[in-house]
Amino acid sequence: MSWILFIKFANSKKTYIQMRKEKLFSGKTLAILSGGGDTPAINSSIEQVRNRASMLGYKVYGIRKGWKGLLGDGDIVDLTHQPYKGLYGGTALLSSRTNPFSKEPNSEDRVSQIMQNIERYKIDVLVTIGGDDTNGAAKRLYEQEGIPVIGFPKTIDNDLRTQTIHHYNGKEIEAVINPGFPSAALGMMEFTNRLRTTTESHSRIMVVEFMGRDAGWLTGSSLFGGAEIALIPEVHMTRERKEFFFEHVKETYLRSRKKSLIIAVSEGVRWYNDKTEHLEMVYASSEVDEFGHPQFGGISGVVAAEISRKTGLDARSQISGYYARSGDCSEYDRKLTSALADKVVDLLLREEYGKMPVIKNVVKYKELEEYNTSCVDMGAIGNRDLPSDYYDENSFRFNDAYADFLSNIVEKPIVSRFDIDFPIVIPK
């Protein structure tokens, strides 16, 4: 080693040791919670925020079961120097749909319980990983009680407004990209694709139900899985549209090479009920959660039964349900959560609270970097339906603009086909 290099090395080492001693936020505590439905990218978000916050000198706590972990005596674990498996799906901090502002009986004092625990555990900053409900509540606590909060997006439904711009054919479409959606879209694309073999073998119509609540973003991933028709909550299935739909289904089925068809249906589709003469949604239960959300489930069965009745074709239904939320974090989600965690560092350094990092533009994997992030005010997040630019109402299909959006996030699978026409044997 030359002398110059040695001196440089010694200096940089000294600086590093000094830096370690004088960490910017040493003595401070940052706590992370995850609320609402889990996604495959939450552990990745927790790990990446934890790693960066530790580097800044924070002690990092995990609050278990969302807001519930700040009620009563609190349910809090220390994440600071613990191993963490960010690629493992779900959330190791557990989740709940606890609403700090719930109107349920005996829940009036939740905010004061939260405030007491914030003080007892000496939490200086709170990072809330969630959708509109979790982050909306966090923002309210920030404004009302002064808790410094930073939001972190997550949802497989992809309906949390991130103001992410999709540049397509000279147009700027206001799209959305939330951590969790890329992994879920990948899983659902594969799920739909797998169903082709059984559907083909029975010359059937398969109606596949997708999670996503009131938005059709996730249902769109069926496009790369081979679904030719899709129904989304944004376009209501009125009596007239239903008639047109049945005709379209029959025609598409008869035109298909294998006499089979996959139809993707969002769980939140509004479907005209011939008996009640109303547009209705199908629920799995009459219960609602603390944020007033009902539990969807079963529309695919209703649609399949009516297709069979109206067209005489053999139709079956398959609810994909929690499959969309299951499994490991995808590569895209890993890098997305990393870029957003870098933006959290920026917010921490600036001490800017009440904000949530988002991806600025719809980009491919390699451009998922901090320079491509920005922030939105947590009070103004709200939900974003699927833009009409992505769906063609006449053909009941996600269009090329959506295919372009999706191709940034997941790779279109190479679909294997078995299209041989065996020669027919005629008895002599």
CA-closest candidate to residue 138, choices 344, 373, 355: 355
Can 132 be counted among the known catalytic residues? Answer: no
Q: Which is nearer to ligand F6P, 50 or 325 (CB)?
A: 325
Beta-bridge partners for 125: 30
Task: Tell me how far, at minimum, the Cβ of 330 lies from ligand F6P, in Å.
Answer: 17
Q: What is the CA radius of gyration of the chain?
A: 25
Quote the DSSP letter at residue 413.
P
Residues 237 and 303: their CA atoms lie apart, in Å, by 11
Task: Tell me how far, at minimum, the Cβ of 99 lies from ligand F6P, in Å.
Answer: 13
To the nearest 10°, the Cα dihedral for 230, 320, 41, 348?
60
Asked if 34 and 93 count as a contact pair (C-beta separation under 8 A), the reply is yes
Residues 333 and 335: their CA atoms lie apart, in Å, by 5
Which residues are near ligand F6P by CB under 6 A?
Answer: 37, 155-157, 211-213, 267, 295-296, 325
Q: Which is nearer to ligand F6P, 90 or 226 (CB)?
A: 90
Residues 358 and 368: their CA atoms lie apart, in Å, by 11
DSSP sequence for 354-400: SEEEEESB---GGG-SGGGEEEEEGGG--B-PPPGGGEETTTTEE-H
Q: Which is nearer to ligand F6P, 211 or 341 (CB)?
A: 211
Q: Which is nearer to ligand F6P, 155 or 338 (CB)?
A: 155
Q: Is 21 left (phi over 0), alpha (psi -120 to 50) or beta?
A: alpha
Q: Which of 132, 157, 159, 214 is catalytic?
A: 157
Residue with tokens 């005489």: 312
Asked if 252 and 395 count as a contact pair (C-beta separation under 8 A), the reply is no
Q: Which is nearer to ligand F6P, 128 or 155 (CB)?
A: 155
From residue 34, give the alpha-carbon distance in Å to each of 38, 74, 135, 339, 407. 8, 15, 10, 18, 28
Residues 363 and 361: their CA atoms lie apart, in Å, by 6
For residue 124, give the amino acid letter.
D
Task: Tell me how far, at minimum, the Cβ of 397 lies from ligand F6P, in Å.
Answer: 22
Q: What SS3 class is residue 132?
A: helix
Task: Tell me how far, at minimum, the Cβ of 424 lies from ligand F6P, in Å.
Answer: 47
Secondary element (H or E) of residue 83 = none
Task: Tell me how far, at minimum, the Cβ of 368 lies from ligand F6P, in Å.
Answer: 23
Q: Which is nearer to ligand F6P, 117 or 337 (CB)?
A: 337
Q: Which is nearer to ligand F6P, 35 or 100 (CB)?
A: 35
Q: Active-site positions?
A: 157
